[in-house]
Amino acid sequence: METRVDEIAEGIYRISTFVAEIAPPAGFTFNQFLIAAEEPLLFHTGMRQLFPAVSAAVGRVVPLERLRWVAFGHIEADECGAMNEFLAVAPHAEAAHNTLGCLVSLNDLADRPPRPMDDGETLDLDGRRVRRQVRNINTPHVPHNWEARVLFEENTRTLFCGDLFTHLGNGPAVTDRDLVELALDSEQVFRQTSCLTAAVATPRSLADLKPQTRAVMHGSSYRGDGARALSALADGLEARFSPEAEFAARPSALAGPLP
């Protein structure tokens, strides 16, 4: 497995490991994002087994011990499995997550007390130079888990959207190709989205952020009209996965008259 590092927006690095064995033949990527600010922030840690590769990649951009914030979208192994490994090598680092996630899980799971964030609260990463801050936006149950959230970096208008727009394959680090259909096809494979009502409403509200870059956890990041893409994702989820659409698409064996 190769772990590569690419800058996808100014000072924002995508660390990507491709695993060919997952969802063959296309394969699947696990991506972490590093904001190389005065207070460096890592979004997603990768699983514990990936820690040697991911930490070495982080260390190519900033010294590991300088890492200040460990953040992620929700609590699953690929998002935060190596959280404590990073806290161990970065003595000033804190896990930062929304208040609910801290109360429900991180107060117990994290080896040091986490930093809770309210909905809409920002973290200042670079107070003295460029204004560089990330805003916490709660997205309960989107795409899954009640502590789910995204981060928005306001300087580059980068939306760290985690599992939203997940797609298979090992494409370029960042693309201007429309990812919506790929994401909808991946949803058909994985069925990762837990609450369709919220999954339709939340991308529509995130479109108000007008992101220029979307940092996608699985697959290529996207540079372009983020508002249009988020609205298209909401429309596509509604069209393909609403109860009516699922009923219409049910297997023919179930569609016939009952015996």
Instruction: Please give the residue ranges that form the binding site for Fe ion (CB under 5 A).
Output: 76, 78, 163, 217
State the minimum distance, in angstroms, from the CB of residue 233 to Fe ion: 16
Q: Where does residue 167 fall: left (phi above 0), alpha (psi -120 to 50 degrees), or beta otherwise? A: beta
State the minimum distance, in angstroms, from the CB of residue 47 to Fe ion: 10
Of residues 163 and 187, the one with the C-beta less far from Fe ion: 163
Of residues 7 and 76, the one with the C-beta less far from Fe ion: 76
Mapping DSSP to helix (H, G, I), strand (E, B) and coil, where does residue 218 land? coil
> Residue 182: how many CA atoms within 13 Å on its side-chain side?
22
State the minimum distance, in angstroms, from the CB of residue 163 to Fe ion: 4
State the minimum distance, in angstroms, from the CB of residue 110 to Fe ion: 18
Which residues, 6+ apart, have CB-to-CB distance to 102 below 8 Å?
114, 115, 116
Q: Are 253 and 205 in contact (CB under 8 A)?
A: no
State the minimum distance, in angstroms, from the CB of residue 33 to Fe ion: 12
Of residues 78 and 85, the one with the C-beta less far from Fe ion: 78
Distances (CA, A) of 28 to 1, 75, 117, 161, 171: 12, 19, 31, 17, 10
DSSP assignment string, 121-171: -EEES-SSSS--EEEEEE-TTSSS-TT-EEEEETTTTEEEEETTT---S--
Of residues 193 and 213, the one with the C-beta less far from Fe ion: 193
CA distance 151 to 136: 5
CB atoms within 10 A of CB 34: 24
State the minimum distance, in angstroms, from the CB of residue 78 to Fe ion: 4
DSSP 49: G
Angle at 176 between CA 9 and CA 219, to 5 degrees: 75
Of residues 154 and 188, the one with the C-beta less far from Fe ion: 188
Q: Are 132 and 153 in contact (CB under 8 A)?
A: yes
Of residues 78 and 94, the one with the C-beta less far from Fe ion: 78
State the minimum distance, in angstroms, from the CB of residue 248 to Fe ion: 28
Of residues 11 and 101, the one with the C-beta less far from Fe ion: 101
